[in-house]
């Protein structure tokens, strides 16, 4: 008698066989793709590691050789684009790392100094060490020429406004106080400021007032000390000071009334102690303190 497998069982076996075949084909394709990918990865050449370079140095005053703080140092590529920037520390030192190999131009800028630039080349894996010398840029102010010679910039006024809001280290006279007091001359705003001395000088035609810093030592009579004058962050030479035999010296004070009318001012900063003078006002001529005038922005 001949045995026949049930038809249902044959269909099940056929289904299982086809499913196994599909799985086998899928597995074979996966292995083949993995092998191709492995070969491709191994065939890809490794990218060489490019070493970066660095530059460090000091920015100094061309005349005194002393380091200049708060100098903005920029690194520019051959197309003139700024690729990195930093500021000098209290000794005028700076460092910039991770620079691509090739030619660069360094540019140093600070209020009160002429902009200085220098062409150099960065070498991968090495540090370029250099010194940048900046010539001072003293502004001589003729009477009532403040606005034409030294215009305040928004960023600089923001610095003044920030220091005034903190009220630390000095005396700050804002535009609001100037409007409230309606002074006839700048020296009127300085009367009564602690540490300042206002003296009369009839020999001056433009103003008979001079401003100096008062100081005294234990057991000694008080005296006068030089003061550095700034207009919009730029050192200003006092035209009211006389030179020559018998002339008044720096300790006799500076004349401020000829610089501008109070209505042209945005504010005044007075620092009667060198320890409290902001870094941007520290110069060899700072003497015992600083008076900084800020003019109002011109409307465009």
- Our count of domains for the chain comes to 2
Identify the pLDDT of residue 288: 77
Identify the pLDDT of residue 123: 95
- Kindly state the tokens that stand for 105: 């131009």
**Based on the domain organization, do 188 and 265 belong to the same domain?**
yes
Identify the pLDDT of residue 99: 96
Residue at which a domain ends, from 106, 134, 162: 134
**Based on the domain organization, do 224 and 101 belong to the same domain?**
no
Residue at which a domain ends, from 88, 108, 134: 134
| In-domain check, residue 35 | no
Q: pTM above 0.85?
A: no
Identify the pLDDT of residue 52: 94
Residue 213 sits at the vertex; the CA angle it makes with 272 and 224, to the nearest 5 degrees, is: 140
Identify the pLDDT of residue 249: 39
59 CB neighbour count, 10 Å cutoff? 28
| In-domain check, residue 239 | yes
CATH number, domain of 58, equals 2.60.40.1120
Read off the pLDDT of residues 171-227 as tens digits, 9 standing for 90 and up.
999 999 999 998 988 999 999 998 888 887 655 444 568 888 876 444 444 556 778
Mean pLDDT in order along the chain per 10 residues (300 residues): 51 52 57 52 55 94 85 91 88 93 92 85 95 77 40 70 86 93 90 87 60 61 69 68 37 73 89 86 77 73
Identify the pLDDT of residue 267: 93
| In-domain check, residue 265 | yes
- d(C-alpha 163, C-alpha 168), whole Å: 7
- d(C-alpha 66, C-alpha 26), whole Å: 77
Identify the pLDDT of residue 250: 46
**Based on the domain organization, do 145 and 289 belong to the same domain?**
yes
Distance between start and end Cα atoms, the chain:
115
Domain that holds residue 117: 53-134
Identify the pLDDT of residue 60: 93
**Please, where are the H alpha helices in the chain?**
7-43, 146-149, 154-166, 175-181, 186-190
Output b/e per residue, 140-153; b: 16+ Cβ within 10 A.
ebeeeebeeebebe
Identify the pLDDT of residue 252: 62
Q: Cα dist. 88→14, 78, 163, 230 in Å? A: 83, 23, 20, 21
**Based on the domain organization, do 224 and 278 belong to the same domain?**
yes
Identify the pLDDT of residue 122: 96
Residue at which a domain ends, from 101, 134, 167: 134
**Based on the domain organization, do 115 and 212 belong to the same domain?**
no
């Amino acid at each position: 008698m001949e045995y026949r497998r049930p038809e249902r069982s044959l269909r099940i076996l056929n289904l299982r066989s086809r499913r196994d075949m599909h799985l086998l084909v899928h597995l074979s394709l996966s292995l083949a793709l993995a092998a191709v990918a492995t070969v491709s990865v191994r065939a890809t050449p490794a990218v060489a590691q490019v070493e970066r370079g660095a530059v460090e140095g000091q920015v100094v005053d061309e005349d005194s050789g002393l380091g200049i703080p708060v100098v903005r140092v920029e690194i520019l590529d051959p197309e003139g684009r700024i690729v990195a920037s930093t500021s000098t520390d209290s000794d005028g030192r700076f460092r910039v790392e991770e620079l691509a190999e090739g030619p660069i131009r360094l540019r140093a800028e600070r209020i009160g100094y002429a902009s200085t630039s220098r062409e150099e080349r960065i070498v991968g894996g090495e540090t370029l060490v250099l010194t940048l010398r900046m010539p001072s840029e003293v502004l001589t102010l003729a009477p009532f020429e403040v606005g034409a010679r030294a215009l305040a910039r928004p960023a600089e006024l923001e610095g003044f406004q920030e220091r005034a809001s903190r009220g630390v280290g000095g005396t700050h006279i804002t535009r609001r106080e100037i409007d409230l007091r309606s002074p006839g001359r700048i020296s009127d705003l300085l009367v009564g400021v602690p540490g300042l001395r206002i003296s009369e000088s009839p020999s001056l035609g433009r103003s008979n007032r001079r401003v100096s810093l008062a100081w005294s030592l234990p057991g000694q009579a008080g005296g006068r000390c030089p003061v550095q004058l700034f207009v919009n962050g730029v050192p200003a030479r006092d035209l009211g000071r006389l030179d020559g035999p018998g002339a008044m010296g720096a300790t006799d004070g500076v004349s401020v009334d000829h610089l501008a009318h109070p209505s042209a001012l945005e504010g005044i900063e007075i620092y009667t102690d060198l320890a409290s003078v902001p870094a941007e006002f520290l110069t060899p001529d700072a003497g015992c303190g600083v008076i900084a005038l800020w003019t109002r922005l011109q409307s465009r």
